[in-house]
Amino acid sequence: MPRLGTNRYGKAEVRLLRVTRGGADGDALRDWNVSSSLSGELEAVHLSGDNGNVLPTDSQKNTAYAFAQRLGGVEPEAFALALAEHFVSSQPAITRARLAVEEYGWSRGAAGHAFVRDGGEVRTTTVVHDASEGTHVVSGIRDLVLLNTTNSEFWGFAKDEYTTLAETKDRILATQVTAQWRFRGTDVDWAAARTGAREALLTAFADTYSYSLQQTLFAMGARILDAVDAICEVRLVLPNKHHFLVDLTPFDLPNDDEVYLAADRPYGLIEGTVLADDADEAPLAWT
């Protein structure tokens, strides 16, 4: 006899722009993509179509807009925490809420009311609030593109009958970072933590003389843990954005490590987790 397994439902990608008017430097923006997902006593709706325990996803959308007005231009972690706790406390059938917020950056233009959209980097936040298992916050960034023109080698690797890759003592190292960091609790200066983690990541990438992208990954995660005490775990996904030296000899031209083919695929994909010595296991944070 079939039985219902793990399930959840919610409203995905609610686009929301919150303008805070009249600050010392002019207006301020929070540009968010908000997704909510609820779990709990939802067997009836799946098995018989009884909607009695289902808060409509349209209501979840409206709640996001209302809380944006009530809370003001807060950090995305504070916003997600407030929504997650609200859904669990206000709906008797809901025992777990997951809120994910993507924040798109804007820089000020020539006037206090003028803004320029930043590049591809996106700030991310996920809050999981469970009635019995507590609250977890995971923040991070994605689509942050980094490149070192030198200080990277790759040699001494395993070889088999299909290996054609040449060893190198100098190469371009480039990646498009997805980084997530788990906080120890919820009493955190979110803005300062984000700034510290991002700066640590950038510094580690620039400062590490790399013999492999895996080595760079660990250095980035370790530097974040050292820089921000509130963070206990870092997970990184680093695609290796390959750059191949172009052969210009057919055109009687030299190429002294100057002209490269920037390949978009296929690419190596390096993933890893760096944990503080005292970090506990918290799988709920990553669900």
Catalytic residue among 11, 129, 136, 241: 11
Catalytic residue among 6, 57, 203, 216: 57
Active-site annotation holds for 136: no
Residue 205 Cα distances to 136, 148, 211, 222, 230, angstroms: 28, 8, 12, 11, 21
Active-site annotation holds for 178: no
Give start and end residues of each alpha helix (H) in the chain: 43-47, 57-71, 76-90, 190-207, 213-227
Beta bridge partners of 15: 33
Nearest by Cα to 15 from 52, 68, 55: 68
Catalytic residue among 61, 129, 241, 242: 242
Query: Nearest 5°: CA angle at 146, between 142 and 152?
Result: 135
The token pair that represents 123 in the structure block: 């700030």
Catalytic residues, which ones? Answer: 11, 57, 242
